[in-house]
Structure 1
């Protein structure tokens, strides 16, 4: 196997580490805003910071990559009652180009009052790139919990 200019023997024990950081700033416009339902669309500016590292008994190398991606954003929330909410939020962009990114959250929220709430749900993150310098795609599924504080 070859990685980052180094050759690794097929029988060689290798430890692989993968780190992916994502920093985002979203601008969203509410196109529907009623008492029970809200729908917004916008753009997310994402900076992704990735590092892949392979370590064996004889070699240690890593490949770092920092890049900027613009994603489409959609957010919807439906009030099931005065305290319960159902929500969907997604940042995504895929096309005929060399890569794609999707980050989708679907969950329920509970408002304890006007300033504090909790939410829990399912989240899927998928995407990657197929370019000359790297081929990397990831698909992660997990449960997610969060808190909201309003000032």
Structure 2
């Protein structure tokens, strides 16, 4: 199997709270919601040792967006051992009558894995 593609759906449960405190004055707004997201993923084996992959959970439209996107590169160092690196972007927010909030987080990871 040289390549694989996956398509599906994800339900993201989010618990958002905005709290402002100044002296004795406290104000907050909380909201719990379920956000449906589209899931897409793919892997492609370049040769016997190298594999590239990407995955996305995301949806944009209406009042906001939610995106979780990752790109990975894996190298097989032995029969059951791999080393890999991944970069990931988590982005999203909402623009509604009650709230305007957008954020983006970037991360990178290195992993060693085995299968049995």
Fold-level similarity (TM above 0.5): yes
List per-residue Cα deviations over 1:38-75 (Å, max 9, x = no partner). Answer: 11111111111223333334434433221101111110
Tell me the equivalent position of 2:17: 51
Alignment of 1:82-101 (within 5 A): 82-95=48-61, 97-101=62-66
> Larger relative CO (CA 8 A, sep 6+): 1 or 2?
2
Superposed, 1:32-111 pairs within 5 Å as: 35-95=1-61, 97-111=62-76
Q: Secondary structure of 1:82's partner?
A: coil
Aligned equivalent of 1:123, options 85, 88, 97: 88
Q: What is the number of residues matched between the two proteins?
A: 115
* More strand per residue: 2
- The CA deviation at 1:119 is 3.2
5+ residue gaps, structure 2, are none
Q: CA RMSD in A?
A: 2.4
1-structure distance, mates of 2:22, 2:114? 46
User: Which structure 1 segments of 5+ residues have no match?
Assistant: 1-34
